[in-house]
Amino acid sequence: FRSGIIMVTIEMRFPILALLLLSAAPQGFEEDFSRGMADWWVEGGERVWVEDGRLQMKADPATGAAGNVATVWRRGVQPADFDLELDAQVVSSVPNVNNINLFFNYTDPSGVLLEKTAESRRSAAYGLYHQINGYIITFLNDTETDSGKARVRIRRNPGFQLLAETFTYHCRARVTYHLKVVKKGGDILFSVDGQELLRAHDPHPLGPGYFGLRTFRTWLWWDNIRLKPLPSER
């Protein structure tokens, strides 16, 4: 109890120090959703829930109006460098975008813990995440040119800076994809189903931060999430 009071006091007076304390020995995680949503919080969306051991994210209203974007964050700061694996499947997407996004190494530049600022992102508007520190991997169907391929991008925030982009493989509804992200220092590698799709290098890599799942105009589920720390080069 006493240590809890000390932590709250540090967080209020010295937010950057609080972040460093919480991330001093991040352990990563494995998620089977046996605790439901206890370890996650939601921003935006129509509905987010756990069913049959999978995290369901629905953000695809027929009118395309409110609720068409959703972000779900894992509680707790995750390591700067990691090996991440998870499964995702698009249930449906009215505009056929099949949007599968990953957020990682996210922090608020002010040093305030990200969950404390969740209310300011209640709408989950994409631009709100471009104003804080973090990386985004976007994996979705290429509806812009109807190439039949997936559009894959790696970006850094703040500033929505494009680090790498490609059009390759595919991103289809009702297909289970096994995603893998490896971040080591400034190197980021993204693979799907054992195939490397894209890699990027950031000369000024971000440190420990929050991990999140994101979608737009899509109903999808996530499963078998495992994030394993790697020895940091920082």
Q: What is the pLDDT of residue 2?
A: 39
- Report how far residue 134's alpha carbon sits from residue 178's, in angstroms, rounded to the nearest whole number: 22
Q: What is the pLDDT of residue 15?
A: 52
Q: What is the pLDDT of residue 62?
A: 85
pLDDT in tens, 40-80: 999 999 999 999 999 999 999 988 678 999 999 999 999 99
User: Rounded to the nearest 5 degrees, what angle is found at the Cα of 34, between the Cα atoms of 29 and 37?
Assistant: 80
Q: What stretches in the chain show pLDDT beneath 70?
A: 1-26, 64, 233-234
- In terms of Cα–Cα distance, which of 80, 181, 86, 197 is closest to 133? 80
Q: What is the pLDDT of residue 218?
A: 98
Write down the pTM of the prediction: 0.89
Place of tokens 């089977």: 32
- Report how far residue 114's alpha carbon sits from residue 227's, in angstroms, rounded to the nearest whole number: 19
- Report how far residue 172's alpha carbon sits from residue 85's, in angstroms, rounded to the nearest whole number: 19
